[in-house]
Structure 1
């Protein structure tokens, strides 16, 4: 491809005085969404930040420093993590995350050996689009519950105060998304959370006791050692064979909850790489190769599972930052990753995140989960999927009703295929057995294996 009109090329090192500012911009762009996932699933936001940073650095290493992509917490795994946690605790969710990362690795090897055509045939737009809609709408009740009800009670108690906070947060987030420009247009989620937090304080639903305790410890430190001990914390990492035994929490239910979702997120990842290639004007699917990109994503997810964080994925928010700033340097992305790791060890940051009311997160989630569903609809539209075609109509309809309706197959007392996983598997099955498969691709471009194969000299 032709030379880009980049402010900084992929391998250019920014000047020191600009480096930290550019990296902070990426950190702010991903921050709101990355901490929202652990907040919703009961995992540690501090660990999510650390695993996000480490995962991004691993991704940059595996892709040979050629793809400027930041990885943060994946929204697609929210419902599976909640289900896996209910089955095997937080450790169970980590087992599921590791297996999902392993799926990425297997797919990466298969793409390296066989090309990408087989993946596109299993997961065409007519399957992936409706499943993404299920991912978003399946979480709708979670967002509404957080927005409307008093948290921490055994039964649901409606609160007009909490719902007002949620609606104000939602309104500010929408305004920031539509009307803000420049740098502020890149961080509407963070703006919504901060503004909602401030409004929630005026309504008396913010518990700042942990923040006060952290601040008291910092201000009362009588020595340099005591100051650092007060500022820095050691997150409670969930490490296999150290804090728990994987063999004791493993179950086939966790496998069925997490693994099918990994196939869908791999298809999403491929779409992200196409968009990123257009933005940077370099064919990342060819060099360093889609197999390396998927492997990097999988390794980042496995790293998160070894620490107690949610699965990682490439972030559209940060691709947006690249498109606007034209700063493509992987050193800027790496700087953001280092800052995320640093923030994860700052106790007062964790205390502030922990004090965010569920109503604020509920308000933001109403928009975010709807956007996920809308992206699934967009996939169908962009690929010109014809829903007047009976085959397409059947596949999409069955996926939507099974997934959103919460259907499940009970295999044993403790084993079931449920909701999103079931809808994805049924969608893949219907796509493979029903005739006229070409209609499932619409008018979108099916990747030719030769387009994503590595050059011989770059394959290693």
Structure 2
């Protein structure tokens, strides 16, 4: 284990604080603004809420866990499903997504409370790799069509048309991100999303795909686009919203646990014990709730920032807090947010091809790392059903005595959990965490 340059509670100098905080802010920046852009929400409020959620997380975890909370990719499809997108790619009913995200935050808190009282091993038996891994694959592959469509098609008079020019911008973006990720070392390899977006944006400017009119018209300082319940939308909880959003916690809680284990190895701590999985999960949930309350997407700890910690060996929570403050400040810069809104859809599509593929591949990696035996018919059946139900878009729709619809990855996740519980041959201990 390499010695830390700055350990958890070490205070950096003023110069170190600024430069290192900017580094962490840029590491999460690309992915955090990409999620709201894809689902028709405001990048500025996503940036603001990521900073606020991170500060909340640091408080809840007693300033022991140097983790940054950014926008979660797992909720892209559910948000699009409940909020809807118009032809301009803007969410039609964004309040539905916020209600669902607040419910997700509450579920996190409930699970954290149960873990606090009963321990965590029941959770790991409920969510073994044979359930979580195929659902992660569904999340990635289920979005693949959206990524490819964004990359190569444009809409002309409400008709989708192939555009070689736009597809070239997507490919430049995609290969730039791949090159930074594979061929570069140190900090550059930890920010392929942001750097790929920058290269793709510059190329798009050169070939004339970017219109700067709205940047010129934007004010230097502007309030983020808040979305408050009872003010900007009617707070009405429906079964459709809950059943589309809440089941995805099956994946995000597993993702959270994985990040805590990896982060603990990086900084040489056991975060499952101290401050405890219940605290980190509560911090994630409360951050998600507050984010949704002001109009931001659900939150998750970010692998990009864990990568920065591993590369720089700077673990100071002051640096993470500094990155959060910078994100909050930048969210009020109207010109910067206007530039983000001019990113061509093709550029977003190009980076999405890589991102969604990585999500799917991480599910495959979970199978490999946990040595899942597909010679076991039980495992084969569970994975097969989850994949086809999720990617195929199966749904259960009930209209009487009350209206309920569960579809796609949410239905796949629920079926996976139930199959794992009822099918014979379940191992007595699955996916145990390190003591």
Please give the TM-score of this superposition, normalised by the length of structure 2: 0.96
Preserved contact between residue 151 and residue 358 of structure 1 (Cα < 8 Å)? no
| Corresponding residue number in structure 2 for 1:431 | 420
Q: Aligned with 2:70: secondary structure?
A: strand
Describe the shift of the 1:251–1:178 C-alpha distance in structure 2 as closer, same or farther (beyond 3 A).
same
Equivalent-residue separation in structure 2 for 1:375 and 1:182 (angstroms): 22
How many residue pairs are counted as aligned between the two chains? 427
Give the drift of 1:182: 2.2
Give the drift of 1:376: 0.6
The equivalent position to 1:163 in structure 2, one of 164, 167, 186, is: 167
| Corresponding residue number in structure 2 for 1:34 | 32
Give the drift of 1:164: 1.2
Give the drift of 1:430: 0.5
| Corresponding residue number in structure 2 for 1:318 | 305
Q: Does 1:422 align with 2:411?
A: yes
Equivalent-residue separation in structure 1 for 2:118 and 2:429 (angstroms): 22
Equivalent-residue separation in structure 2 for 1:152 and 1:240 (angstroms): 35
Aligned-residue Cα RMSD (Å) equals 1.6
Give the drift of 1:415: 3.1
Q: Does 1:254 align with 2:241?
A: yes
Equivalent-residue separation in structure 2 for 1:61 and 1:251 (angstroms): 32
Preserved contact between residue 386 and residue 439 of structure 1 (Cα < 8 Å)? no
Deviations 1:188-247 (A, max 9, x none): 111110110111112211121111223xxxxxxxxxxxxxxx421012200112222313
Equivalent-residue separation in structure 2 for 1:420 and 1:67 (angstroms): 31
Give the drift of 1:152: 7.2
Describe the shift of the 1:271–1:209 C-alpha distance in structure 2 as closer, same or farther (beyond 3 A).
same
Alignment of 1:318-337 (within 5 A): 318-337=305-324
Equivalent-residue separation in structure 2 for 1:312 and 1:198 (angstroms): 29
Q: Does 1:309 align with 2:296?
A: yes
| Corresponding residue number in structure 2 for 1:457 | none
Deviations 1:255-301 (A, max 9, x none): 00000001220011001100011111011110000000000000110
Equivalent-residue separation in structure 1 for 2:43 and 2:161 (angstroms): 27
Give the drift of 1:154: 2.1
Q: Does 1:46 align with 2:44?
A: yes
The equivalent position to 1:357 in structure 2, one of 344, 354, 363, is: 344
Equivalent-residue separation in structure 2 for 1:134 and 1:54 (angstroms): 30
The equivalent position to 1:401 in structure 2, one of 377, 382, 388, is: 388
Equivalent-residue separation in structure 2 for 1:310 and 1:152 (angstroms): 30
Equivalent-residue separation in structure 2 for 1:254 and 1:374 (angstroms): 28
Preserved contact between residue 125 and residue 429 of structure 2 (Cα < 8 Å)? no
Equivalent-residue separation in structure 2 for 1:236 and 1:175 (angstroms): 35
Q: Does 1:447 align with 2:430?
A: no
Alignment of 1:6-405 (within 5 A): 6-86=4-84, 89-151=93-155, 154-214=158-218, 230-247=219-236, 250-405=237-392
Describe the shift of the 1:239–1:383 C-alpha distance in structure 2 as closer, same or farther (beyond 3 A).
same
Please give the TM-score of this superposition, normalised by the length of structure 1: 0.90
Describe the shift of the 1:153–1:390 C-alpha distance in structure 2 as closer, same or farther (beyond 3 A).
farther
Preserved contact between residue 66 and residue 288 of structure 1 (Cα < 8 Å)? yes
Deviations 1:15-73 (A, max 9, x none): 11111100000011000000000000000000000000000000000000000000000
Give the drift of 1:153: 5.0
Give the drift of 1:127: 0.2
Equivalent-residue separation in structure 1 for 2:179 and 2:155 (angstroms): 27
Deviations 1:345-378 (A, max 9, x none): 0001110000000000000000000000000111
| Corresponding residue number in structure 1 for 2:89 | none
